[in-house]
Amino acid sequence: MSSARLTRLGTSILLSLVIAAGLASAALGASPTGPTPSPSASPGVTTTPNRDPASDPARCLQLGRKSAVPVPGCPPIKSTAGLSAAATTAGYAISGKVTGTGGVALSGIEVDAYDTVGNYSYNGVTVSDGTYSVGVPAGTYTIYFYVTATGSRYLPGYYGGSSVPVSWNSAADVAVTADVPGINVQLQTGYFISGRVTGTGSVSLADISVDIYTNDNSYQGWDSTANDGTYSVLVSAGNFNVHMSDYSGTYLNGYYNSGAAGHFSYSSGTLVGVTSSDVPSIDVTLGTGYHIKGKVTASDGTPIGDIQVGLDSSDYSYRGYGMTAADGTYSVAAPVGTFTVYFNGYGICGPDFCEIAYASGYYSTGGFVLDYSLASPVVVTGADVTGINVVMGPFGSTYHAIPPTRVLDTRNGTGGLSGPFTNHVARTFQVTGVSSGVPAGATAVTGNLTVTGQTSSGYLSIGPVAQDNPSSSTLNFPKGDDRANAVSVALSKLGTLSITFVAPSNGNGANAIFDVTGFYTADTSGSTYHALKPTRVLDSRGSTGGLPGPFTNHVARTFVVTGGSSGVPSTATAVTGNLTVTGQTSSGYLFIGPAATSNPGSSTLNFPVGDDRANAVTVAVGVGGTLSITFVAPSNGPTAQVIFDVTGYFTDDMTGATYVPLTPTRLLDTRNGTGGLSGPFGNHYARSFGVSGSAGVPSYAVAVTGNLTVTGQTSSGYLYIGPSEKNDPTSSTINFPAGDDRANAVAVALGTDGILAITFVAPSNGPTAQAILDVTGYFVPQAK
């Protein structure tokens, strides 16, 4: 197992460092007690690309455990300090003993267990006899030992399956399904490389990061210079490069080089040989070079402070760092050369997650982008370069799927609203809380909005703000027809939602039900989204999906949604899609979820007899990549055919896109030309319209959520929406009869240049239909 498997989020690319053989020895000072392995190399000077020391996973682990805020260049470490076995769910204990030279027991040694993605650490400390116990949930871990005492000569490292900690580069996996005793290690002693870092005029430089690497590119240790510019790093015997980084952006980053002016070079270094004693006087004077300067603001012009700014030269021979000030300005030192400029949007880290306020990416002359391939070069020729300004977009939120949970039912007072809605009167209810499973601070939820008992035709509108006269609709319906529509909707700052019933006249009422199916949080603790072209994965009218033949009453049936031609990988935690009923011989409803439930407690799609209907879903994936569907009818005997089209999936990592909720905004209305399409759709004729740059959706969005509504249709049929024009689509988004305003939620990938396309499909030529799209949010990619 390599510790390099840890994923960097929104930071510069981790490059391999190729170091030529050789060293220049500088060995003076007292010898510690303990073994003295000897290096085997001859004097020489390394010529090496200037690696990013912050990108080393081992260094990130070392720093991340000690910091409550993000370490520049490192992924967030989610730490639960001092967690005991009793405090964990299904907790177990990893235990053992730590000894030093001569088998002496070592107390005060910090022991960290990191999970398989390096994000969660569980901590323990050895007691007087050297023993420790770390409580963890079931899982697979690497075990890291770290000496916290200042001046200690015991080297840190990973448990490697033997009695001696391994190097920074590899560790043994420890599988935990029960208590795991006997994880014993013996720590070795090391030596100190020390020196002083100065700047122009021999001024002492504080807070300079000093990183030590072996000549085979493994990380060895780190220190930050004190106020007098001094540093001291504990290492084993070997040959090392010593790298200095100024995160203030004032001085050039680079290597100790005994032959260069000031013993400093940004492109090559002299290896420092450590044999059997400390190595002092590795002093450098850093150069200033020139500076790349600019300002970072949010989309509304607000300056953004504490944003990490990184430079990469075109050949990676130089890398520089800086941070924006409170007014958003920055200045980063650079030599003559051509550079890309990267901006890291980390926000505030808590004990269990990191809130990430802004999306990371490169400077581009065309605007701020989120793709490594679209950076614009910045050329430094012999003077400062100013005006390298960027606008940073929001990072977005990650998704957490939960079992469908009813949070509002006005028929019985669930959710605090009792009795039907009346015309044009917005009412607000609480969504976050213990009973819903949605935590305080959630930015948005997915769910299912249902109308029942309505005494008039009309529509419901749901959103984060109470609006008696909403400008968009969520669920359209006639009188006396139970209907449901899925939503992805922003929450208010207080964790509430508001619903408004709009009818043709006063005096009418409607009851509303809301089931929540998941939530978004503005951090890295959830899943990210991957949009797909709509793909049919189940059709019980044939053999697609492996469930041929109609569904019967209260009999759950399960199908596999991952693998095959679906495009959904086995690692998916949830999917978005479209659930359609057809050929039903009775009224009733369908339920879809991750587990087979013959008697579901909530509904997904409500329908009368003989009416093809669809509803969008965002639903957790079950064990083995499965979903289960149940048909519920008033009595036994009726049947229904079921279709499911998948439109995207979520994975529990940062490889996908994050979600930015919006207040619902009308993006397209063919009745009046909103969105650039005027007049009704004709049969089998696809029309496209621009989404990016409209209704708050930025140019770098990869998908949107929203509500697609059909109105004024002169025939039964269906609408299809997707990222490209298809005159003959193979899946449907919203099914309808003639003359029935109907809406369905969508989560849909954007096409080239940020477009969407809609197709109306009718039984014959001649009929037409008007289409409306209200956007409720968008997904933005994360730099990898």
Which tokens sit at 308? 């990490």
Bridge partners of 193, per DSSP, are 233, 279
Residue 216 — pLDDT band, cuts 50, 70, 90?
low
- What lies within 8 Å, CB to CB, of 650 at 6+ separation is 399, 401, 527, 528, 529, 530, 572, 573, 574, 575, 656
Bridge partners of 223, per DSSP, are 210
Q: How do residues 279-306 score in pLDDT, each as one tens digit?
A: 999 999 999 999 999 999 887 788 988 8
Q: Which amino acid is at 545?
A: G
Q: What is the pLDDT of residue 675?
A: 93
Question: 3-state SS string over 182-217?
Answer: CCCEECCECEEEEEEEECHHHCECCCCEEEEEECCC
Query: What would the mean pLDDT of 120-130 be, rounded to a whole number?
Result: 82
User: What does the DSSP assignment read for 669-710?
Assistant: ETTTTBTS--SPEEBT--EEEE-TTSTT--TT--EEEEEEEE
Q: How far apart are CA 301 and CA 674, in angstroms?
A: 28
Q: How do residues 221-257 score in pLDDT, each as one tens digit?
A: 888 899 999 999 999 888 999 999 898 899 999 999 9
Q: Which amino acid is at 241?
A: N
- The secondary structure element, H or E, covering residue 235 is strand 230-235
Which tokens sit at 510? 């409607």
Q: Which of 59-73, 122-136, 427-441 has the lowest mean pLDDT?
A: 59-73
| Buried/exposed 608-636: b ≥16 CB within 10 Å, e otherwise | eeebbbbbbbbbbbbeebebbbbbbbeee
Q: Which amino acid is at 296?
A: V
Bridge partners of 262, per DSSP, are none
- The secondary structure element, H or E, covering residue 59 is helix 57-64
Q: Which amino acid is at 182?
A: G
Q: What is the pLDDT of residue 292?
A: 96
Residue 1 — pLDDT band, cuts 50, 70, 90?
very low
Q: What is the pLDDT of residue 40?
A: 29
Q: How do residues 593-647 score in pLDDT, each as one tens digit?
A: 999 999 988 888 889 998 899 888 999 999 999 999 999 999 999 999 999 999 8
pLDDT at 8 over 70: no
Question: Which of helix, strand or coil describes residue 103?
Answer: helix
By the 10 Å C-beta count (0-12 exposed, 13-18 middle, 19+ buried), 8 is classed as buried
pLDDT at 353 over 70: no
Q: How far apart are CA 232 and CA 255, in angstroms?
A: 16
Residue bearing tokens 């088998």: 103
**Domains by residue range for the chain, with CATH:** 15-53+191-285 (2.60.40.10), 58-186 (2.60.40.10), 299-390 (2.60.40), 396-526 (2.60.120), 528-651 (2.60.120), 656-784 (2.60.120)
User: What does the DSSP assignment read for 420-438?
Assistant: -EEBT--EEEE--BTTTTB
Q: How far apart are CA 48 and CA 317, in angstroms?
A: 7
Q: Which amino acid is at 135?
A: G
Report the candidate in 505, 519, 458 with the shortest Cα–Cα distance to residue 483. Answer: 458
Residue pair 734/613 in contact (Cβ under 8 Å)? The answer is no
Which tokens sit at 577? 């899609």
Query: What would the mean pLDDT of 485-499 be, rounded to a whole number?
Result: 91
Q: What is the pLDDT of residue 546?
A: 94
Residue 25 — pLDDT band, cuts 50, 70, 90?
very low
Share of the chain above pLDDT 90, in %: 50
Residue pair 690/684 in contact (Cβ under 8 Å)? The answer is no
Q: What is the pLDDT of residue 314?
A: 82
pTM: 0.65
Q: Which amino acid is at 235?
A: V
Which tokens sit at 689? 């319209």
pLDDT at 565 over 70: yes
Which tokens sit at 623? 């064990």
Q: How far apart are CA 262 and CA 123, in angstroms?
A: 42
- The secondary structure element, H or E, covering residue 758 is strand 755-761
Query: What would the mean pLDDT of 32-37 be, rounded to a whole number?
Result: 26
Report the candidate in 649, 666, 773, 754 with the shortest Cα–Cα distance to residue 702. Answer: 754
- What lies within 8 Å, CB to CB, of 648 at 6+ separation is 529, 530, 531, 532, 575, 576, 577, 703, 747, 749
Q: What is the pLDDT of residue 281?
A: 96
Q: What is the pLDDT of residue 457?
A: 94
Report the candidate in 280, 307, 286 with the shortest Cα–Cα distance to residue 295. Answer: 307
Q: How far apart are CA 257 and CA 624, in angstroms?
A: 56
Q: What is the pLDDT of residue 310?
A: 87
Q: How do residues 327-338 score in pLDDT, each as one tens digit?
A: 999 999 999 999
pLDDT at 428 over 70: yes
